[in-house]
Structure 1
């Protein structure tokens, strides 16, 4: 009867410990998933948000330099050759194209891809206006060239900058979402770690109880006949 009770208790303990171990293993896997999610979020913040944000800054700089180069050519007293100005504009165009290709290598959400496509369209339109201005200057029509530069040129330039501002706003919004996701993963990791520690403590307590029960069951009982013998004497 005693051994039957011991086996029954050990069987229950084995089931309990097995369940605890399964929970610990499951918690470990979930923790690993959360850590990978945190790593992916921070990597995405750098690769897909910080790099595009820096690229937008350089794109804006090149656009303003193009605008300033053409403006100096039109309104400066020191006249430059159209070929020299055209070479400057082409250098900025190559830089812009390189930056756009770098931007396109990052992960783009639908809204971001649409805005980038609009920006590329505006860039092409503005480049054509620059070519028109230079063509007018080549034939000596500076007044008309200034008019094109000021009216449609200014409007197109502002639209291009607005596209960049829109892209910058998208980076900020998605970056905030990634930070929120990272915080959720960190919180989940903390909860799971606490549960794992609790389960480890419970496992230790169960082992201690099993050891004590085993010692109590295996401890020999005092001989009652021997006690009676001494009492009779």
Structure 2
């Protein structure tokens, strides 16, 4: 009867150990998934937030370069080379278009899509305004060119800068949200690690319990045999 009782206790402990092992495997799977999600968050933060934010700053630089070229022609008495002016404006326009195409390929939230569309429309207006300016300047209509820039050009450039600022702010906002999500993932990974440690300690306690039970049974059996 004592032997049957011992076997029954060991079966209970074995079932408990199997349950703990299953929990350990599940925790391990969840931990691997958390690590994968954390890795994806870092990749997204770099490829879809950090790099695009730098590209937006480069667009701002090219936009200001275009504006400086136009103002240097309008507000100076120097006669600019028509082909040189067109070439410089075209070069900066090409740089902006390339950066925008690169930016469009990244992951964009709905707010960014709307802001990007507004920016592209604004840049198209600036391009048409620049073409009219160049045409006026080299058709001896400097006064008309200056008036066009004062009435529309400045406002267009300011609007483009505002759209770019909004996009950069959205980049920061979404980037902060990704960082917060990553922090939650890290916290969850710590919890999984602590659970694994607790289960390991529990397994150790159960093993000691099994050994202790076995020793007690052996001692009792020895005493029984002596009697």
TM over 0.5: yes
Q: Whole-Å Cα distance in 1 between the matches of residues 95 and 225 of structure 2?
A: 99
TM-score, structure 1 length as denominator?
0.94
Q: 2:223 aligns with which of 221, 224, 231?
A: 221
The equivalent residue for 2:91 is 91
Structure 2 partner of 1:211: 211
Q: Which structure 2 residues correspond to residues 1-233 of structure 1 after superposition, within 5 A?
A: 1-219=1-219, 220-221=222-223
Per-residue CA deviations over 1:172-201 (Å, capped at 9, x if unaligned) read 100110010011001111111011101100
What is the match of residue 228 of structure 1? none
Q: 1:223 to 1:116 in 2, by over 3 A?
A: closer
SS in 1 for 2:223: coil
Return closer, same or farther for 1:162/1:27 CA change in 2, 3 Å cut-off. Answer: same
Describe the superposition over 1:196-225 as per-residue Cα deviations: whole angstroms up to 9, x where unpaired.
101100001101110110111022116676
Q: Which has the larger radius of gyration?
A: 1
Take 2:7 and 2:125, find their aligned partners in 1: how far apart are those partners?
A: 85
What is the aligned residue count? Answer: 225
1:230 counterpart residue number: none
- Runs of 5+ consecutive residues of structure 1 not aligned to the other structure: 226-233
Cα distance in structure 1, aligned partners of 2:62 and 2:77: 24
Q: Cα RMSD between the aligned structures? A: 1.2
The Cα of 1:120 is off from its aligned counterpart by 0.8
C-alpha separation between the residues in 1 aligned to 2:150 and 2:126? 12
| Change over 3 Å in CA distance of 1:6–1:85 after alignment to 2 | same
TM-score by length of 2: 0.96
TM superposition shift of 1:34: 1.0
Q: Classify the secondary structure of the residue corresponding to 1:221.
A: helix
Q: CA deviation at 1:77?
A: 2.5
Q: What is the Cα deviation at residue 90 of structure 1?
A: 0.3
CA distance in 1, matches of 2:123, 2:225: 103
Q: Aligned in 2, Cα 1:15/1:143: closer, same or farther, shift over 3 Å?
A: same
Runs of 4+ aligned residues of structure 1 deviating over 3 Å after TM superposition are: 222-225
Deviation track 1:71-118 (CA, whole Å, cap 9, x = no partner) reads: 111122221122211110000011011100110111111111111111
